[in-house]
């Protein structure tokens, strides 16, 4: 029987990830916050609130404590960051306020950065509603917003106090959004868990009702929790937390060049994982046969491995130059020495990256 609670080990800032009886646990925790004299607020998006109209009230939130924002990547912006801060100030939230994020990765990243910034930092809690946010973005304390120049260029490390993973919320998730979440699941197998990767190939598919899903979600959270505990703020000279960005240097460039929202984050990651595998092969770090294996599992879970329509290679390369992982002006990628084993690699020839973009459909 998988554990019902997993702890992210960060000394005095350690926190639990809850996997069972989540709504009941959330209700108790909110009641305890109120009993101790604290106020609570929620940031969500309109689509999640429409899909789960009773969820927040059933666990103890009042309507006037909830800020609803538009769904989509464009909400991770200075405009909505400012709006959320003004909402807290306008409702007289003070330093003992506990801020809850109810939604996917966009809302979690935005609300976390709001919490890190408001009154120089207030507590926040994650209630992820998408597969992608459950297995990845809700855990680890990376918060932030996008700029027109690039994704996640503004943000802070600000760990949540708890994460509540209620897989019942996935029942209303669209097949496209579910597939996008699977890109991060596949990523974990490729960077750290060959057994998980092979299990995914054997499954041939997965949906919200699959009996294997809860254990897979926990497995991904466990991998991330360990990596975050070892290198919380991505300061390791090599490897470390940066490995969680496998495929993401390519993915973030796609999202930026295509315009935020054209691709779901997980769709861009799918293409990025294919390109990261091709790059690893081109660098002679792993055998060429792994390209077909990677593309096979991505296609099994309805993820793209090429651009839907051409993007300018120059735009993609310019976006890459602004990537946060770069060091001393040189591109830095996460590559693999084998499926299930990732490394950070510096000093890659720009011409090689341009060739890979052309193979993926760039012009």
pLDDT tens digit string along 81-97? 999 999 999 999 999 99
Q: Which of 260-264, 298-302, 341-345 has the lowest mean pLDDT?
A: 260-264
What's the pLDDT band for 2 if we cut at 50, 70, 90?
very low
**Cβ(76)–Cβ(84) under 8 Å?**
no
Q: Which is it for the CA torsion 30, 158, 108, 298, positive or negative?
A: negative
What's the pLDDT band for 324 if we cut at 50, 70, 90?
low
Backbone angles phi, psi at 108, to 5 degrees: -60, -45
| pLDDT tens-digit readout, 193-245 | 999 999 999 997 899 999 999 999 999 999 999 999 999 999 888 889 999 99
**Residue 158: how many CA atoms within 13 Å on its side-chain side?**
24
Nearest to 100 by CA among 137, 138, 134, 135: 138
Task: Give percent above pLDDT 70 in the chain.
Answer: 98
Active site residues: 120, 142, 184, 224, 234, 241, 245, 248, 252, 265
| pLDDT beyond 50 at 189 | yes
What's the pLDDT band for 177 if we cut at 50, 70, 90?
very high
What stretches of the chain show up as alpha helix (H) in DSSP?
22-35, 46-51, 55-59, 78-90, 105-117, 131-132, 175-192, 194-203, 213-230, 248-258, 265-282, 289-300, 313-321, 350-359
For the packed helices 289-300 and 175-192, what is the interaxial angle rounded to 10 degrees? 150
Average pLDDT on 253-265 reads: 92
What's the pLDDT band for 326 if we cut at 50, 70, 90?
low
What's the pLDDT band for 69 if we cut at 50, 70, 90?
very high
Q: Give the CATH fold of the 175-359 domain.
A: Dehydroquinate synthase-like, alpha domain (1.20.1090)
Average pLDDT on 59-68 reads: 96
| pLDDT tens-digit readout, 127-169 | 999 999 999 999 999 999 999 988 899 999 999 999 999 999 9
5-172 under CATH 3.40.50.1970, yes or no: yes
Q: Which is it for the CA torsion 52, 114, 231, 275, positive or negative?
A: positive
Domain ranges (residues) in the chain? 5-172, 175-359
Query: Which tokens sit at 177?
Result: 């959004």
């Amino acid at each position: 029987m998988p554990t019902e609670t997993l702890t992210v080990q960060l000394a005095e800032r350690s926190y639990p990830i809850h996997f069972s009886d989540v709504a009941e646990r959330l209700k108790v925790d909110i009641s305890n916050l109120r009993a101790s004299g604290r106020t609570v607020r929620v940031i969500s998006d309109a689509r999640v609130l429409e899909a789960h109209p009773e969820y927040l009230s059933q666990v103890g939130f009042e309507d006037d404590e909830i800020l609803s924002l538009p769904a989509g990547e464009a909400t991770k912006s200075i405009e909505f960051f400012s709006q959320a801060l003004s909402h807290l100030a306008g409702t007289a939230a003070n330093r003992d306020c506990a801020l809850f994020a109810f939604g996917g990765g966009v809302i979690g990243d935005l609300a976390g950065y709001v919490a890190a910034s408001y009154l120089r930092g207030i507590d926040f809690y994650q209630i992820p509603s998408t597969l992608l946010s459950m297995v990845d973005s809700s855990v680890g304390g990376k918060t932030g917003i996008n700029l027109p120049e690039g994704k996640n260029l503004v943000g802070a490390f600000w760990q949540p106090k708890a994460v509540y993973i209620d897989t019942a919320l996935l029942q209303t998730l669209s097949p496209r959004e579910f597939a996008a979440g699977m890109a991060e699941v596949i990523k974990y197998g490729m960077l750290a868990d060959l057994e998980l990767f092979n299990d995914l190939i054997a499954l041939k598919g997965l949906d919200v009702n699959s009996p294997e899903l809860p254990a897979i979600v926990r497995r991904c959270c466990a991998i991330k929790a360990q990596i975050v505990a070892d290198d919380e703020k991505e300061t390791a000279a090599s490897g470390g937390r940066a490995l969680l960005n496998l495929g993401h240097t390519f993915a973030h460039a796609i999202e930026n060049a295509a315009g935020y929202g054209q691709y779901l984050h997980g769709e861009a990651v799918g293409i990025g994982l294919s390109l990261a595998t091709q790059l690893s092969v081109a660098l002679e770090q792993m055998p060429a046969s792994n390209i077909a294996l990677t593309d096979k599992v991505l296609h099994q879970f309805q993820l793209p491995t090429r651009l839907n329509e051409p993007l300018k290679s120059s735009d993609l390369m310019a976006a890459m130059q602004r990537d946060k992982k770069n060091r001393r002006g040189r591109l830095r990628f996460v590559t693999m020495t084998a499926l299930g084993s990732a490394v950070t690699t510096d000093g890659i020839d720009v011409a090689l990256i341009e060739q890979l973009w052309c193979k993926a459909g760039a012009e």
